[in-house]
Amino acid sequence: MQSELVTLASKIATGAGLDPVLVCAVCEQESMWNPWAMRYEPAFMSKYVAPLYTNNKISTSEAYARSFSWGLMQTMGQVAREQGYDRPFLSSLCDPEQGLTVGCQVLKKKLAMAGGDLVRGLLYWNGGANPLYPEQVLARRSHYAG
């Protein structure tokens, strides 16, 4: 199963103009290749999602779903919505193709924000909470390099 996911991640990354080795390293770091991985981020909820909920712009269940990271790349639900992801349920980001497609779009934007600086781009991707995150991801690239 993991080899199929690596193949899919590489294909979607290439289509998005990203380094497939980097995307695979992110998937390993974020979810250990578990497409059903999900994690509630209470600080993210407080900072980014709660104002939408308290102003009655989204439902309670949507607010909580936007505060979870989903799937192989652990893309935040709110970030997926900001990218235009309009499926009715954010849990569909656990579908590998859906999650990888959105995750690669977001990662590409974060790298562009960093002017191509891989370390800064990975910090943007991770939200900057873990200063060792770029080093951890980059160390995993050797698992996928050719």
| pLDDT digits 0-9 by tens, 21-30 | 999 999 999 9
Residues 72-91 have a mean pLDDT of 96
Question: What's the pTM value of the predicted model, to 2 decimals?
Answer: 0.94
At a CB cut-off of 8 Å and minimum separation 6, what does 79 contact? 106
pLDDT digits (tens, 9 = 90+) for 44-66: 888 888 888 787 788 989 989 99
Query: In the structure, what pLDDT confidence band is assigned to residue 5 with cuts at 50, 70 and 90?
Result: very high
> CA-to-CA distance for 80 and 101, rounded, in angstroms?
10
Residue 84 is predicted with a pLDDT of: 96
Q: What integer best gives the mean pLDDT of the chain?
A: 94
Q: Between 46 and 109, where is the model more confident? A: 109
pLDDT tops 80 at residue 87: yes
**What is the topology classification, in CATH, of domain 2-143?**
Lysozyme (1.10.530)
Q: Could you tell me which of 33, 31, 26 has the C-alpha nearest to residue 107?
A: 26
Residue 88 is predicted with a pLDDT of: 95
Would you call 17 helix, strand, or coil by DSSP?
Answer: coil
Q: Between 33 and 127, where is the model more confident? A: 33
Tokens 């779903």 locate to: 65
